[in-house]
Amino acid sequence: MISEASQPVHPIRTGIVGLGRSGWNIHAKTLAALPKHFRVSAVTDPESERCLEARQGLGCRIYNDFAEIINDDALDLIVIASPNHLHTDQAIQAMAAGKHVVCEKPFALSIEDADRAIAAAEAYDRVLSPFQHRRYESHFLKVQEIIESGALGRIVQVRMVWHQFTRRWDWQTLRRFGGGLLNNNGSHLMDHALQLLPPDVEPDVCADLKQVLTLGDTEDHIKIVMKAEGCPTLDVELSNAVAYPQDRWLIKGDRGGLRGTPEHLQWRTMDWDALPPRRLETAAATGREYSKDDITWTEHTWSPPADEPSAYERYYQDLYTTIRTGQPLAIQPQSVRRLIRVLERCYEQCDVMPASPTSL
Amino acid sequence: MISEASQPVHPIRTGIVGLGRSGWNIHAKTLAALPKHFRVSAVTDPESERCLEARQGLGCRIYNDFAEIINDDALDLIVIASPNHLHTDQAIQAMAAGKHVVCEKPFALSIEDADRAIAAAEAYDRVLSPFQHRRYESHFLKVQEIIESGALGRIVQVRMVWHQFTRRWDWQTLRRFGGGLLNNNGSHLMDHALQLLPPDVEPDVCADLKQVLTLGDTEDHIKIVMKAEGCPTLDVELSNAVAYPQDRWLIKGDRGGLRGTPEHLQWRTMDWDALPPRRLETAAATGREYSKDDITWTEHTWSPPADEPSAYERYYQDLYTTIRTGQPLAIQPQSVRRLIRVLERCYEQCDVMPASPTSL
């Protein structure tokens, strides 16, 4: 057996479709920082200036359109960072052309599309890797670790919020591009939430989607409550209309709780066994006081290590291993299928309310 | 017309049923502080020591049971501060005996009981006054005023929470007494929430009730989301299992927001007209940046005046006016009927989850 260290490293030759906020700022820059494992060999974007910038910065080939780039035989992998409504079809076409695929979130806008993409990956025997890289975020991994340790006891509810106060007027606010806050940041936050349920659980969903400040025609205020028997209730809120943003995390367990942000978590734990035993008392309460224990908390905090790799890097390192060694994908499209189903149900459940006059 | 000041004041002769936390600490003490308008003339409680304490402190008569006190012809008003499961029948019996009634919350445990009580008030031509005194709380009145002023713009969502971390083992944790957190503090918080909807709106309700730490058999963790077209979404949470309690209020409007507690509110407002006009842009974003306005906030704060009357006093002052002058009740039982309906629907929707082993 040849040790990994002695194996020659062949960078995966990658083509990027779309050089916008994600294609350039996230994918191109992350891949350029991993030169042993990836090489950006080609790009395409409707904006010629962006292509020239990529050629100059990365020394890559330029293609005029999607059909050209997926037919470049020298590419192993296509990164799809185009607008959302193109994701599924482009992913399928790229796999049909023999390429592995990284597909920006959401990798499908309906469960039907998700199933088409998954079937194509099987039919063409290609890697289909939805870009749910936030599963690698260290605050999220830490929260999972704390929950699984049992330190907080039985988890009753997890509240996750992503609050800001802002209006937007770009393509992500338009339905015809598959926009909307739920498809965008919602794909990440809802994916995090669903990861806190057992893999086979499909929760009951109660969704409230509203259009408040966006100039487009999609929701920019979202509240979703998900319930499943024996599981923590998930309370997820994304909104661009919150003047007083709350922290990302609030977790309620029967032995403690957690709150915090991606940059700082704090949690407190307690021990019921250290308290006096109690029994039900239906007689008149002594001193007319509420029954109450004197609880002692143990406090804990965490911040991410300064030198750790980003979630983007972790994602791409694992993807490299999968493509080169055949090791199963860390983020299976099947595991994201449940997310797509929930997003679809939220949209089915709500007519997005009309924009307020103040945003016009 | 005789001016109010010149009218002789005849205190309303009041009998109190139940001298526990509410009957004694709230009702007896408030009434004793309003001697021109009320006189505690009689009490009854299964605990004889409590009755003796009342006779000594208030100089009132003592009765052995409910049937005796309601047949005291010298009483005008009966305050029902017994356990919840007794409220409706006792209210009806007291009205049948010719008494006006103050009934602790919830005044009914089902819509059927609410309707029976309302019908009895009409049939016997008596005042039935549900003790939803928190409608007089000054933070709540202030919040209503701010919302109605339009300062926050269109209200998108109102979050109201009542968080603590505690286990209880008294009668209010038992179903057979009509206990449970929803019937107790929930009657107040849900009533506040419903007051923020137009009177005729019956919202869609999504409820999650869990038993976490209580030693009884009722819920002590509640999440309820209420939606109605064109109305703010109401997100109400009561829980005895939150290690990091949040503030009571979080309000999200399209021109501002509010947060705070009964002791301190803060809100911020902004003016969209002061910002540059925007239009949808579907071309590539300049500098790959998210569209964003530079928002200027105007900050506001409020705390309750130190010398104002309590909500209890305001409630009883208005009740005095109603009984003495026939002015309509400020808090009509019909307006609380909607609350009872919503509470009932929450209970219908949820099997309360079993207690965790840590509470046994």
- B18 in A contact zone (CB under 8 Å): no
Query: Residue A5: which pLDDT band, with cuts at 50, 70 and 90?
Result: low
Query: Residue A351: which pLDDT band, with cuts at 50, 70 and 90?
Result: confident
Q: Kindly state the average pLDDT of the residues B196-203.
A: 96
Asked if A166's CB is within 8 angstroms of B208's CB, the reply is: no
Q: Kindly state the average pLDDT of the residues A342-358.
A: 73
Q: What is the pLDDT of residue A352?
A: 67
d(CA B141, CA B134): 10
Task: Encode B257-326 in three state secondary structure.
Answer: EEEECCCCEEEEECCHHHCCCCCCCCCCCHHHCCCCCCCCCEEEEECCCCCCCCHHHHHHHHHHHHHHHC
ipTM of the complex: 0.94
- Chain A residue numbers with beta carbons less than 8 Å from the beta carbon of B259 are 244
- Chain B residue numbers with beta carbons less than 8 Å from the beta carbon of A157 are 208, 221, 223, 239
Query: Residue A2: which pLDDT band, with cuts at 50, 70 and 90?
Result: very low
Asked if A258's CB is within 8 angstroms of B252's CB, the reply is: no
Q: Kindly state the average pLDDT of the residues B113-119.
A: 98
Q: What is the pLDDT of residue B69?
A: 98
Question: What are B282-334's pLDDT values in tens digits?
Answer: 888 889 999 899 999 999 999 999 999 999 999 999 999 999 999 999 999 99
Asked if A243's CB is within 8 angstroms of B256's CB, the reply is: yes
Query: Residue A6: which pLDDT band, with cuts at 50, 70 and 90?
Result: low
Residues 6 or more apart in contact with residue A186 via CB below 8 angstroms? A180, A222, A238, A343
B36 SS3 class: coil
Question: What are B12-70's pLDDT values in tens digits?
Answer: 999 999 999 999 999 999 999 999 999 999 999 999 999 999 999 999 999 999 999 99
Question: What are A288-303's pLDDT values in tens digits?
Answer: 999 899 999 999 999 9
pLDDT, averaged across chain B = 94
B89 pLDDT above the threshold of 50: yes
Question: What are A218-276's pLDDT values in tens digits?
Answer: 999 999 999 999 999 999 999 999 999 999 999 999 999 999 999 999 999 999 999 99
Instruction: Report the 10 Å Cβ neighbour count for A32.
Output: 14
Asked if A280's CB is within 8 angstroms of B169's CB, the reply is: yes
Residue A174, judged by CB atoms within 10 A of its CB (0-12, 13-18, 19+), counts as: buried
CA distance A294 to chain B (A): 9
Query: Residue A9: which pLDDT band, with cuts at 50, 70 and 90?
Result: confident
Question: What are A77-92's pLDDT values in tens digits?
Answer: 999 999 999 999 999 9
CA distance A107 to chain B (A): 21
Q: What domains sit in chain A, N to C, each tagged with a CATH number?
A: 4-131 (3.40.50.720), 135-309+341-359 (3.30.360.10)
Asked if B157's CB is within 8 angstroms of A297's CB, the reply is: no
- Chain B residue numbers with beta carbons less than 8 Å from the beta carbon of A255 are 358
Q: Kindly state the average pLDDT of the residues A36-57.
A: 97
> In this structure, what token pair is assigned to residue B324?
């003495």
DSSP A24: I
Q: What is the pLDDT of residue A358?
A: 39
d(CA A342, CA B161): 26
Asked if A239's CB is within 8 angstroms of B165's CB, the reply is: no
Contact A91, A68 (CB under 8 A): no
Q: The tokens 């669903």 sit on which residue?
A: A194
Q: What is the pLDDT of residue A345?
A: 96
Range 124-143 of A in CB contact (< 8 A) with B? none
Q: Are strands A12-17 and A77-80 parallel, antiparallel or unpaired?
A: parallel
pLDDT, averaged across chain A = 94
Instruction: Report the 10 Å Cβ neighbour count for A286.
Output: 8
CA distance A213 to chain B (A): 7
Query: Residue B8: which pLDDT band, with cuts at 50, 70 and 90?
Result: low
B121 SS3 class: helix
Q: Kindly state the average pLDDT of the residues B64-85.
A: 98
d(CA B115, CA B120): 8
Question: What are A193-230's pLDDT values in tens digits?
Answer: 999 999 999 999 999 999 999 999 999 999 999 999 99
Q: What is the pLDDT of residue A8?
A: 63
With b meaning 16 or more CB within 10 Å and e meaning fewer, what string describes B327-339? Answer: eebbbebebbbbb
Q: Kindly state the average pLDDT of the residues B215-228.
A: 96
Range 156-195 of A in CB contact (< 8 A) with B? 156-157, 165-171, 173-174, 177
A4 pLDDT above the threshold of 60: no
Residue B57, CA distances (Å) to A250, A288, A351 in order? 47, 16, 61
Query: Residue A130: which pLDDT band, with cuts at 50, 70 and 90?
Result: very high
Residue A16 backbone phi and psi in degrees, to 5: -110, 130
B352 pLDDT above the threshold of 70: no
Q: Kindly state the average pLDDT of the residues B106-135.
A: 98
> In this structure, what token pair is assigned to residue A4?
């990994």
In the structure, how many helices (H) and strands (E) does chain A have?
9, 14
A356 pLDDT above the threshold of 80: no
